[in-house]
Amino acid sequence: MTDDGGPAQEERRRPFGPWYQFPELEEWDLTPRPCSASVVSLIRPMELTDANILGNVHGGEIMKLVDTAGGLGASKHCGGPVVTVAMDEMTFLEPVYVGELVTVKAMVNETGRTSMEVGVRVEAENVRTGRRVHTSSAYVVYVALDRDGKPRPVPPVVPETDEERQRQREAKLRRAARLARKEAILKARAARGED
Ligand SMILES: CC(C)(COP(=O)(O)OP(=O)(O)OC[C@H]1O[C@@H](n2cnc3c(N)ncnc32)[C@H](O)[C@@H]1OP(=O)(O)O)[C@@H](O)C(=O)NCCC(=O)NCCS
């Protein structure tokens, strides 16, 4: 498709930003959406520049891909820009090797008022043998921002399969644990007169 500069091309060129150029999106669409509508898959070959001093892929490179895929999933769900507020249970189950093809899949598990928990799974494939292994998983929380950079409401997510319902139930437990931990720390600091 050639870039004719028409409205469709213009819309494609600017997914989200600069955000202020979308006055028609002043009212957020809060219609509930299925988990499946937020699915994102990123596929990237691992290169020498992704390696750590052992010669394997650096964990930080994987974390960046996880955050990128998770952020895109959250943006897809809420239809706007998001920021990462928390990442937990990031696991590294197997090393990833230079030359492997990494697939990062993300999907929104659960929504709060302004936040979304995204589940992310990383797999590495040896392109010669076709062997594919699950190397990492993570749960990342994103907050949707309005035009002024303040948290804004997001549409509720609707699980449609048993697996998605299970993910939502477990996400609720993680959310309660995160918020309880944050509150306990703030309370303890306040009791000691600390910031
Ligand atoms: C994300 C941010 C806007 C939230 O601001 P805030 O003042 O804490 O806002 P609120 O208290 O209204 O919380 C907003 C949401 O974040 C959630 N949240 C806040 N702290 C959290 C934490 N530690 N863990 C999980 N969720 C958290 C709240 O539960 C709330 O979600 P809900 O509306 O679904 O209940 C602010 O912390 C920020 O700008 N952080 C920096 C983000 C950033 O730069 N990320 C890295 C680059 S993308």
Q: How far is ligand 1, taken at its centre, from the CA of residue 146, in Å? A: 13
Number of residues in the chain: 195
Closest residue to atom 10 of ligand 1, CA basis: 151
Judge if the beta carbon of residue 84 lies within 6 A of ligand 1: yes
Q: Is 62 exposed, middle or buried (CB count within 10 Å of its CB: 0-12, 13-18, 19+)? A: buried
Judge if the beta carbon of residue 111 lies within 6 A of ligand 1: no
Mean pLDDT confidence for 35-63: 97
Give pLDDT, residue 25.
58
On average, the pLDDT of the chain sits at 91
Judge if the beta carbon of residue 37 lies within 6 A of ligand 1: no
Instruction: Between 162 and 26, name the one with better pLDDT.
Output: 162
DSSP string, 21-48: G-GGGSS-----EEGGGG-EEEEEE--G
Q: How far is ligand 1, taken at its centre, from the CA of residue 167, in Å? A: 21
Mean pLDDT confidence for 37-43: 98
pTM comes to: 0.89
- With cut-offs at 50, 70 and 90, classify the pLDDT of residue 27: confident
Hey, what domains does the chain have and what are their CATH numbers?
26-191 (3.10.129.10)
In ligand 1, the atom with minimum distance to the C-alpha of 145 is: 3
Instruction: Between 66 and 12, name the one with better pLDDT.
Output: 66
Q: Which residues pair with 45 in a beta bridge?
A: 101
pLDDT digits (tens, 9 = 90+) for 63-119: 999 999 999 999 999 988 899 999 988 999 999 999 999 999 999 999 999 999 999
